[in-house]
Structure 1
Amino acid sequence: MKGQEWYQADEIAEAYEEKRFSGGGRLIDRREKQAVLDAIGPVEDKRVLEIACGTGRFTVMLAERGADIVGLDISAAMLQQGREKARAAAVESHLDFMRGDAGRLPFPDDHFDAVIAMRFFHLADTPASYLSEMRRVSKEVVFFDTFKRFSTRSIYNWALPMGSRLYSQWEIDRLLGEADLELIRSTHDFIFPYGLYRAIPDSLASPIRTVDRAIGGLPGGKRLSSVSYWHCQV
């Protein structure tokens, strides 16, 4: 998928968080981090792997809460950003960053308490192999997010420079079955696409988010959601 070349460019890594998680994007950042914490539960002293860790948003957050965490990514430029963030937060002793392939994880079976992947599966060329590896090295929790096929995301997906894979419920059910994972909870959110929030100031994003949640709370509203969070158990 063309997204892999886009993702590994130095200039993308340098501007990644500023473009996605400033302004209205802060709201997205808060929601995603809460989703991860809800899935893992108390993180202190837990051994966690984040695949496709990027600039270390979640890796550093979990290290700050006492997790023993490894962040793995294919992009050297993204990992460098993560290391700088870890140094600034003084959590280097709680985490390791590694460059590697998520389809061939260099860890033994059942090595981690939890394995997470955020903002990854929309770029995954072989999602079944990645999910199988996540399941293999986790002894408890597997957590990841996807963009929904039939949602506002599909309206502009074709125009994105990195490409994007969208998933239907049927595809997720099949992937979980093939990986022998039990779905504990799925949460569907963001009627309005991420791109809208990133394009506006935080002061405007908050009232729009209120409308978003109201629509999602209506009967059948969740079917319009563009993002899904999948909390699975081994």
Structure 2
Amino acid sequence: MKGQEWYQADDVAAEYDDKRFSQGGQLIDRREKEAVLEAIMPVEDRNVLEIACGTGRFTVMLAERGADVVGLDISAAMLQQGRKKAQTANLDGTLEFLRGDAGRLPFPDDHFDTVIAMRFFHLADDPEAFLREMRRVSRDQIVFDTFNRFSARSVYNWALPMGSRLYSKSEVSVLLAKANLTLVDVEDDFLAPYGLYRSIPNRLATAIRTLDETVGGRSLTDHFASVSYWNTRVR
């Protein structure tokens, strides 16, 4: 996986949420959580695995809504941040954090209802292998996102500390077929790149987001969206 050393650093984990989901980044956080909830609903009593769970943004959210969740990540520092969130949350479901490799998931076949991977596939060096492993441990559903090749993301991709893998729709379709997954729905969003939102105050970001949603609501602009949220089912 790209950027493993950078990602596992203690200082990166401590500042991760503040740098990415403060200011205008709050709009990104809200939209990503909305995409996950829409795909998984109803959440209550669902058995969920999140790979590359990071600081637990989604794992804690799902456990608060009554899901039984396991969050797995390679970074001990990120997991520690997630455990701090869980300690202060009012959890209706259960939540467990485990350190592990997404390429060799320590679970039996068909163990979870749903497996999610957000902010992961742009770092995956072998996306087909990772998706097959997710498919192995899921008996029903896999939800993930990708950053898109024909988008504003490609303009600044070179400047990111660990780069990104960008995907076309056709590439993802091939991956789904190889993993024996059926596409239920895909949502495209954010004509303006994530990096722009994170770097400006929330008020300005909200205005840009309003324009983004207005223009991005047209089908012709889907091909230029920065991110796609994929909801798939096991065949």
Shorter-chain TM-score bucket reads over 0.9
Q: CA deviation at 1:91?
A: 3.2
Match for residue 199 of structure 2? 199
1:68 aligns with 2:68: yes
Where structure 2 has 5 or more consecutive residues not aligned to the other structure, the ranges are: none
Deviation at 1:143, TM superposition (A): 0.2
The aligned amino acid for 2:175 is L
Conservation of the 8 A alpha-carbon contact between 1:63 and 1:95: yes
TM-score (normalizing by structure 2): 0.97
CA contact (8 A) 1:3 1:164 kept: no
Query: Residue 67 of structure 2 contacts residue 93 of structure 2 at CA under 8 Å; is this kept in 1?
Result: no
* CA–CA separation in structure 2 for the residues paired with 1:87 and 1:120: 25
Q: Aligned ranges for residues 1-234 of structure 1 at < 5 Å?
A: 1-91=1-91, 94-234=94-234
Aligned partner letter, 1:125 = D
TM-score, normalization by structure 1: 0.97
Query: Alpha-carbon deviations, 1:156-189, whole Å to 9, x = none?
Result: 0011002111111121011111101001101100
Between the aligned partners of 1:232 and 1:218, the Cα distance in structure 2 is 23
CA gap of 1:198–1:97, structure 2 versus 1, over 3 A, is same
Q: Report the 3-state secondary structure (helix = DSSP H, G, I; strand = E; otherwise coil) of the residue aligned with 1:69.
A: strand
Query: In angstroms, what is the RMSD of aligned CA positions?
Result: 1.2
Instruction: Give the Cα–Cα distance (whole angstroms) in 2 for the partners of residues 93 and 141 of structure 1.
Output: 19
**Shift in CA distance, 93/124, structure 1 to aligned 2, threshold 3 Å:** same
- Structure 1 residue ranges (4+ consecutive) displaced by more than 2 angstroms after TM superposition: 90-93
Percent identity over paired residues: 68
After superposition, the Cα gap between the structure-2 partners of 1:120 and 1:112, relative to the gap in structure 1 and judged at 3 Å, is same
- Residues 121, 219 of structure 1: alpha-carbon distance in 2 compared, 3 angstrom cutoff: closer
Alpha-carbon distance in structure 1 between the residues aligned to 2:203 and 2:59: 28
Residues 143 and 230, structure 1, Cα contact 8 Å, conserved in 2: yes
Give structure 1 stretches of 5+ with no counterpart: none
**Aligned-pair distance for 1:146?**
0.5
